[in-house]
Structure formats: structure tokens, C-alpha cells
Structure 1
Amino acid sequence: MALSHPLSHHVSAPSSGRSVRTLADTAFSGGDRTLVAVVGLVALVALGFGYVLMKEVLSADEGTPKMKEIAEAVQEGAQAYLARQFRTLSVVVAVVFVLLFFLPADDTGQRIARSAFFIVGAVFSATIGYLGMWLATRANLRVAAAANNEGRERAMRIAFRTGGTVGMATVGLGLLGASIVVFVFTDHAPKVLEGFGFGAATLAMFMRVGGGIFTKAADVGADLVGKVEAGIPEDDPRNAATIADNVGDNVGDCAGMAADLFESYAVTLVASLILGSVAFGTKGLLFPLIVPAIGVLTAIIGVYITRAKPGENGLAAINRSFYISAAISVVLCGIAAFVYLPGKFTDLKGLASSSDGGVGAALFGLDSGIGKGNPALIAFVAVVIGIVLAAVILWLTGIYTGTEHKAVQDVGRTSLTGAATVILSGISVGFESAVYTALVIAAAVFGAFLLGGASTFVALFAVALAGCGLLTTVGVIVAMDTFGPVSDNAQGIAEMSGDVHGEGAQILTELDAVGNTTKAITKGIAIATAVLAATALFGSYTDAISKALVDAATKAGGTLADPGQFVTNSLKVGIVSPNTLVGVIIGAAVVFMFSGLAVNAVSRAAGAVVYEVRNQFRTHPGIMDGTERPEYGRVVDICTRDSLRELVTPGLLAVMAPIAVGFGLGLGPLAGYLGGAIATGTLMAVFLANSGGAWDNAKKLVEDGNHGGKGSPAHEATIIGDTVGDPFKDTAGPAINPLIKVMNLVSVLIAPAVVQLSVGKDANGAVRVTIALVAVAVVVAAVIIAKRRASSLNDDPAAAPTSAAIGS
């Protein structure tokens, strides 16, 4: 029985004595299970080491009673926000849990497991985010106290080991979740891992967007009223938005970024395990677990050896530890590749070893000689490409965002001619850095892809392994990222308490500047992982289509003689098809819309903060002379309410847009959609992150005494640039990373359903169109509501600034 499809000539009667086989032979031996158990044990070691680091951080001196009081206010605000956010997101998780059950899978048990591990991935992501927030809000005052009483090395050690704790939890939980799935479900693990990765990515995206809106609404509002209008310092306790600003650093940078990097870790593992099981069979399913297990060991070394030498810049010490741990990873991964993997493809049990003219040969084009390659060498070089990519991005991002480099110094110099030139120069830095970073990432992807030769899936597996190589450094990367907000909060607590002076204050200023650069670096590395994971997920997408076609043929009473050629021909036709170009354009447009929604959300919420702080200055004149205490809780509440309200629309856009394209336009346009989103998202994310980082550190340069110093017109110009950059670098830019991966995972999950409704006896065009229209309607309604939504406070003319109200 033929399938009802334009290319139905690919379907024929069942071949004699041969059934349609699965895409990989992944039968587990006792030794394989032992290996997975060892990987799980390494994950537990990571969690144990993280606990040791946490105990060390918490044992440090907490400083003065005033510092404790401020830190407790930040802790309460951060915990209250995350509690409300998790209650909101629990509804989303419950809905998706049910919907996942109805998507195609091999059997009911697989559906249940996929949905269950969606919950696990979401819970792990939330756990990482909460831990990052919880520990950071307790480490900040300890860093401030150490800077004041014990010196720079001790303060830096506490800040970095706070990040190290979160880094160990990230790699530990990511590796533990993946190893449990592989150990329990063996050859069915890839399908279950789709749920695990999707859960991690979905929650991370919402946490990144919500936390980013919160932190930058408070930051922008505090800067505009406090520093620009009232002329008071950044963390002056008279500013009602200061507590909210410090809370935001923790819920945005610590909780949001920790969850983001965890989902990068999880999704890259998912793509690697799916493609590895297809390309290399059992060994391909297990090797991607070995590589990040090595990363756990090197991360422990990297965190442990990080300490600044006397007179050494803190960033140099952090970079040195990163490079040392990366070099160790190269050596250990090389040993693992050549010991565990065979030297020729014929010794593998995946489709890369097929040469019988069946599904594997058709799908991979193995007639062109890929079997003569060396799997061990391919895997090793791919991992090295990923590690080198992380190192190059670290160096390249530092050039464009570090205070010691020309780019930031030029932005700082433009402050002499006003805010407009500061903004223009920062935009220029972002555009230029995006080009070079994108080219570096593209070179890494293409280099890894070339390793596969004629085999598309081996090539995509190599790309995924490059992502795994990059992930060997993720423990140190998370430590670098958390170091930034902890240092920023430490400086804020020191300034608000007034208990840190002289050398201690200078140490915290230096650590804050280093933290700005490390945050920018980790954002660059995070977008690189997103691109590698998304590219690898293209292979998972094709794999899902191929399996669905075989299933459709079987249900129709026939067999798809050549599914690989079917997919190849469809993609070749799709590349030159106008509807695929439409998919590319829509994918690019979604990135722009998502970014616009995020920035606009910050603008609205920051406006509410500005009105509230102005109102407090006007109605409580004693605030400025220190006789009245600002109502910090009102600003925290505004940021909490607005951020949770604003995160819904971007989230719906990320999930519904690929559903609309896939069911409405088809599989080829959906592939184009993903390509457009990945390309545009890469450039946009780097542009936003590096522009914001350059503006932030240009402000630090001026505050250090350059170009007139604090209170000068140049300082005011850089403050305006920094407020523009805040939602760029900490809201829209970082949120693009999980956006790309969420859209790819949604596409992988819905691809079988699209095939099912498009070909075979279950084809139903009316249902496809209905699903697409519903998805479009949801997106349109959400965007319209977001555009019409007023700020939480009305535009009250009485809230306009007056000199009497702000004491200037």
C-alpha cells in the first residue's frame, strides 16, 4: 500500500525476508552498564565537591550587623520572587507534561517516561537556579567582609568558589540525569532524553526572561532616578530601588544564568546521545557521557587552582585556570577516545558501519568510503574543536568587553562628547564583535562537520561532540559567571552599609569590573553552546522524520525502501523552494520579535520603578537627608509583578511559532525556520551581550577617574549608555540562548506528528491546518496583549522629576 504523498514512489511492498529496522543497534552489555554507573558516580562526586565548596563559603565571616541587615533584605526579596515564579511556572510545566504524552512515540511506556523526565529536567533546572540565587545572596556580604578585613585574594576566592559550587551542581545534576536515563532505558534513552532536555530548556528560558526583566527594571530605574536625576551614588541606601537592584542581580544573573547553562549542558548531551546512538551505536550513546565526566574532574581542578598572585589582575588569574583546565581536558579526552572507541567503523554497531545497501547505507551515503575513517580520531578532534572554541571565545569576548582593551576604552573616550556618541560607539562594538564571534562559531561547526566526510549523521555527531568538548569547561564557566553578580552585590552591600572603606572598597571595585567581563565571556560561550546544540539537533530532527516515515510506511502495509534518500531529496527540493525561504524569514523574525518583547518589557517595568522612586522622593523629603527610610519592598513588589506578567508572551512565542510553521507550512519550511532562527539568534545574542558589556565597563572606566570621573558630564553619558545596555546584555541577549534550543526541541518533538498528519493513512490536512491556526492565534493574541499592556503604574504627570523632590 502506497503512502499518500507527492513522493510516494519511495514506498514499495515489503522486501523479501527483511523488516524495517531501527536506526541503531544499541544493545547494552554488562560492561556498558558498569560504565554508565561509573559516570553516575562521577556526577555524585561533582555534587559532593560542590557541597564542600559551599561549606567553605558559608564558613567565612559575615561582616558587620549593618551588612547582615542589607543582605537579609536581598535574601528575602530574591526568595519571594523565585517562589512566585515557580508557582507560575508549575502551571506551564503541568500543561506541557500532559501535551508531551500525546506526541508520537514507540509505545505508551516511552511516552510516560518522556513526560516524566520533562518534569525531572525542569526540576533540575529550577534547583540549579535556586541554588545559584540562595548561595549568592549569602556569599555577597562575605566577599565584602573579606575585602575589608582579609584582602583581595580571600575575597576573590570566596566569590569564585561560590560560583564553583553552582558549577559543580550544574555538571553534577546534568550528568546524573543523563546517566540515569541511559542506564534505565538503554536503546530508548534518546527519546526519553528529549523530554529531559526540553524540561531543562523550557524552565531556563522562562527563568532567564523573568529574571532578566526583574534585574534590569530595577537597575535601569535605580540608575535613572538615583544617579542621573538625584546625583547620588549607584548603591546609595536613599534610593528605594537599590534592594530590588541587588535582588535582581541574583534572580537574573545567578538563578537565570545558572539555569541557562544547565539547560545548555542538558540539551547538548541530548543531541549528542541521540546522534551518537544513530551513528556509532552503543559506543556512540556512551562516549558523550564520558566526555563531560572528564569535564567534572577538570572543573574541580580549575576551581581549586583559581587564585590571584600578588599584584595580578583577577581576570588573568581566572583565565589562567580556565586554560589549564581546558588543556587537561584535551589530554584526558584524547586518552578516552583512543581507548574506548575503535579505529575503524566496521567495528561499530551503529549505522555508520552499514554497507549492506539498506536503510543505513541509504541514509548515510556510505558508498563514498566513510567506513575507511577512524572513529576514535574523529571523536577526539571534534572534542578538541569544542574546547578550542571555548578558549577563543573567552579571548575574543575579553577584547571587546574588557576595560584594558581598546574597544571599551574607545567607548569611554566618546563620553566626552555626550550620551549619543557613547550609544553609537557601543552599538558599533556589538555589531563588529558579533561578526567575528559568529565566524569563529561557524568555523568550529564547519570544521567538526567536515570530520564526518560523506556521512551526514557522523558529521552531525562530530558537531555534537564539539559541544560536549565545550561542556568540559562548563563547571569553570558557571563559576566565572556567578563571580560577576556576587562581586557586584558585595560592592553594593559595602556602599549601602558604609562599613567598607579605603583598600577594601577599591578591591570590590576591581572585582566588580572583572565580574562584568567574566559575565560577558560566559554569555559568548553560552551562545556558542546554543549554536552547536541547535546544529546537532538538526540531525535529531532528520532522524525523527526518518523514523516517522518508516512508521507511516509500516502502518500503510508497505515499507519505505529508502528513507534516507527520501529525506535528502525533500531537503534538496526544500532548499530552493520559496516556502522554505519563508520559513527562514519567519525564524529570523521571531528572534527580532522575541528580543523586542524582552527589551520593551524592561522599559515598561523600569518606568514603573522610576515613578515609584520619584514618588517616594517627593512624598518623603526626609529620605534625602537620611531621616526617613525608603520603602524598598514596594519596588521589589513592582519588579516581581511586572517580570512575571511580562515573561508569558516571549515564552508562548518560542513554543508556538515552530508549531505554527511545522504544521502550517511543512517539514522543509520548519527546517528553514530553525536555520533562520539559529543564524539570526547567534548574531543578535552576541551583539546585545557585547554592546551591553562594553557600555557597562566604559562606565567603570569613568568611575575610576578617567575623563572627569564620577559626577562629570562624561559619567552621566556613560550611565545613559549603561542603562541602554542593561536589557541588551542581561535580558534579551542571554534569553536568546534557551530560545534557540527550545524551538529546536519543539521541532524535534512535533516532527513525527507532522509526518503522521501529512502522509499515510493517518494524513489529515484539516487537523494540521487547525493546529497551525490555533498556534498563530495564540501568538498573535499574546503579542497584542503585550503591546496594549500598560505599566503597573499609570503615567502620572505628578511623577515627573522636580529639583525639590530629588534634592538636586
Structure 2
Amino acid sequence: MIISTTGFQFISIIIAVCAFAVAAWLYKWVNAQPSSNARIAEVGTLIRRGANTFLKQEYAVLAKFAVIVAVVILLFLPKPIWNNNVLENVTMAISYLAGTVFSAISGKIGIQIATIANVKAAEAAKEGIKPSFMVGFRGGAVMGMAVVGSSLLGVAAVLMITGNTTALLGFSFGASSLALFAKAGGGIFTKTADISADLVGKVELGIPEDDPRNPAVIADNVGDNVGDVAGMGADLFDSNVASIAAALIMGASLDGGVSGKNTAVVFCYAAIGLLASIIGVATAKIGKNGNPTRALNSSTYVTTAIFGILTAAATALFGFEWRIWGASAVGLLVGVIIGIASDYFTDDSKRPVHYVANASKSGPAFTILSGISYGLISTLPAMVGIAASALIAYKLCAPIGEGYAMFGISMSAVGMLSIVGMIISNDAYGPIVDNARGLAEMGNLGDEVLETTDQLDSAGNTVKAITKGFAIGAAGLTVIALLGAFMSEVNAAAIELGLPTINGFDVMDPVVFFGMLIGAAIPAVFSAMLILGVDRNAQRMVTEIHRQFKEIVGLKEGKEGVVPEYDKCIQIATTGAIKELIPAGLTAIISTLVVGFVGGVHAIGGFLTGNIVSGLIFALFMSNAGGLWDNAKKYIESGHEGGKGSEAHKSAVVGDTVGDPFKDTAGPSINTQITVVSLVASLMSTLFLTMSLFG
């Protein structure tokens, strides 16, 4: 059977629309769940208002940034406007703005549903674990369906309208640049509040985690939404768009246009991935006394199996290359393996968490040393997985013909991200049930409800570590594919200008090595800037919390009618996050431009290689170490190693405080950073080829 690329684009759009319909139904279902507790409704309103206030202020700043970048793109990309067809530059600028808008909408949808589902999940916990789990999961699934539907719709629409794969780079850069700042800003906000609330509340005063006396407690719950929901949604939207864009660029290069079999297979597999996620979400369930972690993981495995079966059937039906199917299957399999490896190092039922919890009895120094050690060890399985996936996909597809080896790697990335709808659903579940736990405590729903929400929250933390590992692994394969897309763009420009093409980057070339060293250093500097942003902001908030406990009479004692000034802490987190988010992102982008204009395309090849390797190690280490410390603290709080209030607990809280900006600010922002610099390199390839000092 033969279906044209346009036919597969239409099918992709139809499945994207189906995803929106499922998201709308799930939204309506969650919103219809009962909620009658006045205190929970009041706190839920405060959280929703704080999240929307932050998002509004953040998007106002990012809108100005996007307009400036769009003007630069209009003037210079893909070529200076005075040397090029004006329409091409206009198309690129509009595609960029479309990418930022789609990414922003993804974050907004996530906030909208998460701040409803948290209240409903808290109330549902009174009826048991099953109804509360279903509210949390279906709330997360609204975002999963909407984000992946948007990414597939956006890519298909841009290619159908423009007929130009280079415009996809503009769309992807728009998504990536906004995701970079959204993830960094949301991460700084959430960890500012989380660290401040923990240090003053738990460590200094010994009060519970979500005690309403703590002035930072509402800001902490707001942060779960702006960082872990809106930020992660934008991040995975960006990764999915980038992986599809890279595959389409290389596929079109091999096809000699945008209407060949290779571009068709990209759309076919991406559409099937979304369809598999829709089926997986629809079939997700849990028993009356079921295990939420098992329920979340089984949904992922079901979706994975459906994708494998349906893509195999499509490959046979439409006559696609089985080697390309093999590459995508390898990517998906390795994604699951990376998730399982992350689970081992972060699950509170596994040895590493138990060891760190035990080490905490000897003081916070041992908590941190053991956590860092296991975090570093945890990078090896994932890096081996990414390397093996790239190598197998490369070797598997190389016999098809010249250029297919790199296309195989890009399809491996598409395969790994094929079930991203389910991954986002699982990821957004985490902050929803985390908020539900806090709301249950502030609504005085009792110990039995808190025990239920603690179970749900623990599952959320474990699965979140898995989804972050999955996202980082996918970003690794995606940026390797983007390196191939960069070479395709450079060679297309070189042929047009009558210059030699490039087949690779020799690390013994001093220009390449120059770029590699600088590229490897950028993730370290980027991470440091974000963590310092959290540090400075948290110090300001701790000072404010101390002031309130000192000046508001009866607050520390919990006298009836005495309420802290929650808005002051929310404003400190908001102002500080917006102030700190721009410099780190600009550092990554500007360094790419400097290296490109100094060393040319060969230096950029080295820069991207160093950035990818260093960035993946930093991202995996920080995400896994942070998740490990978090669950070691929760393991102790559940009654082990002395339980709450013990010396081990105090040490574990310190470890968790160090891990917070690791796992929720710097770690997950790095994979967006390496995607952004890869896209900047591809967009600027012609300029780097013709306007460099040593190129």
C-alpha cells in the first residue's frame, strides 16, 4: 500500500485532534469530581492564583525576548535578508514565533489542569487510593495528550504550509528557547520555596512539611506547578519537536525533497506513538488497594508494546525499511532501560536509598558524600544505553545507503520519544499528588488520608525519576541527531556556495578541539548559574520567613485566626526567578555564537560534541542524585533509621535541600540547553561557514 507524505501528515493531524478530544474529556472528568472542603478550596485558589501570576509575569518577559529574537531571525536567517528571498526570512521568523506560542500554551494547559486536579485528588483520597490515583493520573494525562498533540500538529502544519524543512528548525528553536527559560525560571521558583520551607520549617522549627504556619508553604505548592508541570511540559514538548524535526531534515535530504518515503516514515511512527499513548492512557487503572508505582509503570510498558506492534504492522503494510523500524525499536527499548536504571538508584525500596538513609545517621556530610557517589555511578548505565542505542541504530541503517546511518540515529530518538504522551502523563501526576498531600494536611483530613497521599507522592517521586531519565536519554539521542541535521544544513549551504562539504569532525584538529573544550564547560557554568540563582533567592526567602515568625504574634504557636503573609514569599520567588532565568540561557546561546564566528563549522562540531557528552553526564548525575536524596528523606520519614525528628532525618533533610536544585532546576534544564545550542548551530550554519575567523 502506498500513502504519500501528505497523506501521513493529514493522518498525523487527525490523531493530534483525537488527542485534544481525549484531553478535553479527561479535563471534564477531573473537573466533575467532588470537592467540598472549604479550607482545601481556599488553599487551592491561592496556589492557582500564585501559579498564574508567575506564569503571566514570566511570559511577559519571554514575549519581549521572543520578539527581539524574531527580528534577528528576520534580518539574518537563513541568510541575511538583503542577500536572500525575503519570504524565506519571514517564514523562519513566523515559524520561530509559532514554536514559542505552542510551547507557552503547553505550559498554560498544564497549570490549568494541575491546579484543579490537586484539589480533587486531595478530596478523593478520603475514599481511598484508587479514586485519588485516577484523578492525579488523568489530570497528568490531560497535559500529556495536549502537549504531544500540539507538537505533532505544529510540525505537520509547518511542513505542509512551508514545504521547507529549514522552517522546522525555526519552529523547534522557538519551542526550545522558551522551554529553556520556562524550565530554568520554574525550577528556580520551585526550589527557592522548597528549600526555604524545609530549612526553616523542618530543620529549625521541627514542624511538618506542609504546615500552614509556614509562610513559604503556598509558594512551595505553587512551585510544584510552575516548575514540575509547566516547565517539564515545555521541556518534553521541545524534545519531541526537536527529534521529529531532526529526523525530517535528514529524511528530506535523503529523499531529495519533503515528499519521499523517509519523511513519510517519520510522520507515520510519530503518529502511531501518539495513538499508542492515547490507548495507554485510556487503559490505565489501579485496584482498590493497588500499588500506584506498578500501575504507572505498567501503563508505560503497555504503551511501549502497542507502539512496537503497530509500527511493525505499518512497516509491513506500507513497505518501509525494517532496519529503520529496528532503529526506532532500539531507541524505545533503551529509553525503558534508562528509566529502569534511574529507578534503581532512586526507588526507596532499593539499596542505594537505604544506604544513604543509613549514612545519614552519621551526619549530613555522609548524606551528601554517599548521595553524590551513587549519583555519579548512576550516569554509567544511561550513558552506555545512549551510546549503544546510537551505535546499533547507526550500524543497523548504514547498509541502506549513504546518509542512512545518521538517519537511523534520528529515528532511534523518534522511537525513544514515541511514547512521550504517556511519559508526560506520568510526570505531571507527580506534582499533582504532591500538591494533594499538602492540601490534605492543610485541610486537616486526618492521618489515614495523609498515609494515602504519601503513598501516591512516593510513587510520583519514583516515576518522576524514571521520566527524567527517559527525557535526558531522549535528549541525548535527539541532539546526536541534531548534530547530523547540522551537518546536513552545512553541506547544503556548502554545495550552494561551491565550498567543500564535511563528513565528520576530527578531534585532532585544533579548531575542533578548541570548540570541544568550550562546549564541555558550558553545562557546568549553566548549572552553576541556576543553582546560584536558587541560592540567592532562597536566602532572601529564609530572611522573610524569619521576619514573619518574629513579627506576626501567635504564628509560631499556631493561634487560631493568625495567618502568615503567603503572598510575600510568592513574590520573592517570582521576582528572583525571573531575574535569574535570562543570564544562564543567554550564556549558552552567546557562547555558541562566539565559538561559531571564531572557529567556524568545525569548531561548532567540536562544541556540540563536548556539550552533548558533558551535558548528559551532568544532567543524569544531578537528576538521579537529587531523586536519591529526596527518597532517602521520605524513607526515614516512613519510620526507618530513627524516623521523623531523628538525627538521620535532619541530615536527610539537608541532603534533600542540596538535591532540590540538582533534580528540579539544573539537571532537567541541561537537556534543553544542549538542544538549544544544537538548534542555534543549525540555524546559523551558513553564517558560520562564511563568516568565521579561523574556519
By the TM > 0.5 criterion, same fold? yes
List aligned pairs for 1:275-674, cutoff 5 A: 275-281=250-256, 282-342=260-320, 376-453=321-398, 455=401, 457-498=403-444, 500-553=445-498, 563=500, 566-568=501-503, 571=504, 574-627=506-559, 628-674=562-608
Deviations 1:499-554 (A, max 9, x none): x113221110011111111111111111111111110111111111111112222x
What is the CA–CA distance in structure 2 between the aligned matches of 1:619 and 1:322, rounded to whole Å?
50
Corresponding residue SS for 1:128 = helix
Deviation at 1:495, TM superposition (A): 1.0
Deviations 1:588-612 (A, max 9, x none): 1111000001111101101011000
Q: Which amino acid aligns with 1:473?
A: I
Structure number, greater radius of gyration: 1
Q: Which residue of 1 aligns with 2:611?
A: 677
Q: Which residue of 2 aligns with 1:74?
A: 47
Deviation at 1:425, TM superposition (A): 1.0
Deviation at 1:413, TM superposition (A): 1.3
Deviation at 1:310, TM superposition (A): 4.1
Contact 2:4–2:264 (Cα < 8 Å) also in 1: no
What is the CA–CA distance in structure 2 between the aligned matches of 1:110 and 1:44, rounded to whole Å?
29
Deviations 1:35-74 (A, max 9, x none): 3212111111111111111111111112400000000000
Q: Which residue of 1 aligns with 2:88?
A: 110
Contact 1:227–1:234 (Cα < 8 Å) also in 2: yes
Q: Residue 698 of structure 1 is aligned with which of 596, 608, 632?
A: 632
Deviation at 1:108, TM superposition (A): 2.3
* Residue 61 of structure 1 pairs with residue 34 of structure 2: yes
What is the CA–CA distance in structure 1 between the aligned matches of 2:403 and 2:593, rounded to whole Å?
25
What is the CA–CA distance in structure 1 between the aligned matches of 2:397 and 2:305, rounded to whole Å?
24
Corresponding residue SS for 1:623 = coil
Deviations 1:305-329 (A, max 9, x none): 2222344321111111111110110
Contact 1:516–1:697 (Cα < 8 Å) also in 2: yes
For the structure 1 residues 248 and 577, does the alpha-carbon distance in structure 2 shift closer, same or farther, using more than 3 Å as the test? same
* Residue 244 of structure 1 pairs with residue 219 of structure 2: yes
What is the CA–CA distance in structure 2 between the aligned matches of 1:684 and 1:230, rounded to whole Å?
34
Q: Residue 730 of structure 1 is aligned with which of 639, 658, 664?
A: 664
What is the CA–CA distance in structure 2 between the aligned matches of 1:67 and 1:272, rounded to whole Å?
47
Corresponding residue SS for 2:691 = helix
Q: Which residue of 2 aligns with 1:269?
A: 244
Contact 1:337–1:379 (Cα < 8 Å) also in 2: no
Deviations 1:142-188 (A, max 9, x none): 1010001x2111100110111111000011000101111222233x2
Contact 1:283–1:341 (Cα < 8 Å) also in 2: no
What is the CA–CA distance in structure 1 between the aligned matches of 2:690 and 2:605, rounded to whole Å?
17
Deviation at 1:285, TM superposition (A): 1.5
Q: Which amino acid aligns with 1:61?
A: P
What is the CA–CA distance in structure 1 between the aligned matches of 2:649 and 2:173, rounded to whole Å?
44
List aligned pairs for 1:163-312, cutoff 5 A: 163-186=140-163, 188=164, 190-281=165-256, 282-312=260-290
Deviation at 1:30, TM superposition (A): 8.8
Deviations 1:625-650 (A, max 9, x none): 22321100000000000000000111
What is the CA–CA distance in structure 2 between the aligned matches of 1:280 and 1:450, rounded to whole Å?
20
Deviations 1:665-714 (A, max 9, x none): 12111111100010011111000000000000011111111111111111
Q: Which amino acid aligns with 1:486?
A: I
Corresponding residue SS for 2:378 = helix
Contact 1:278–1:284 (Cα < 8 Å) also in 2: no
Q: Which residue of 1 aligns with 2:136?
A: 159
Contact 1:385–1:469 (Cα < 8 Å) also in 2: yes
Q: Which residue of 2 aligns with 1:33?
A: 6
What is the CA–CA distance in structure 1 between the aligned matches of 2:290 and 2:437, rounded to whole Å?
20
For the structure 1 residues 232 and 685, does the alpha-carbon distance in structure 2 shift closer, same or farther, using more than 3 Å as the test? same
Corresponding residue SS for 1:707 = coil
Contact 1:588–1:676 (Cα < 8 Å) also in 2: yes
Aligned residues: 683
Q: Which residue of 2 aligns with 1:790?
A: none
Q: Which residue of 2 aligns with 1:44?
A: 17
Deviation at 1:456, TM superposition (A): 5.6
Deviations 1:206-239 (A, max 9, x none): 0000000000000000100111111111110110
Q: Which amino acid aligns with 1:191?
A: T
Deviations 1:228-265 (A, max 9, x none): 11111111011000000000000000000011010011
What is the CA–CA distance in structure 2 between the aligned matches of 1:38 and 1:456, rounded to whole Å?
29
Q: Which amino acid aligns with 2:517?
A: I
Contact 2:397–2:404 (Cα < 8 Å) also in 1: yes
Identity percentage of aligned residues:
38
Q: Which residue of 2 aligns with 1:748?
A: 682
Gap runs ≥5 in structure 2: none
Which range moved further: 200-209 or 710-719?
Answer: 710-719
What is the CA–CA distance in structure 2 between the aligned matches of 1:171 and 1:45, rounded to whole Å?
11
Contact 2:91–2:162 (Cα < 8 Å) also in 1: no
Q: Which amino acid aligns with 2:502?
A: V
Contact 1:124–1:173 (Cα < 8 Å) also in 2: yes
Deviation at 1:473, TM superposition (A): 1.0
TM-score under structure 1 length normalisation: 0.83
What is the CA–CA distance in structure 1 between the aligned matches of 2:241 and 2:138, rounded to whole Å?
23
Corresponding residue SS for 1:451 = helix
Deviations 1:732-776 (A, max 9, x none): 000001100000000001111122325xxxxxx5xx99xxxxxxx
Deviation at 1:449, TM superposition (A): 1.1
List aligned pairs for 1:135-146, cutoff 5 A: 135-146=113-124
Deviation at 1:338, TM superposition (A): 2.7
Query: Hey, which bits of structure 1, 4+ residues long, moved more than 3 A?
Result: 29-32
What is the CA–CA distance in structure 2 between the aligned matches of 1:729 and 1:225, rounded to whole Å?
21
For the structure 1 residues 388 and 280, does the alpha-carbon distance in structure 2 shift closer, same or farther, using more than 3 Å as the test? farther
Q: Which amino acid aligns with 1:395?
A: I
Q: Which amino acid aligns with 1:450?
A: K
For the structure 1 residues 32 and 667, does the alpha-carbon distance in structure 2 shift closer, same or farther, using more than 3 Å as the test? closer
Corresponding residue SS for 2:348 = coil
What is the CA–CA distance in structure 2 between the aligned matches of 1:514 and 1:30, rounded to whole Å?
43
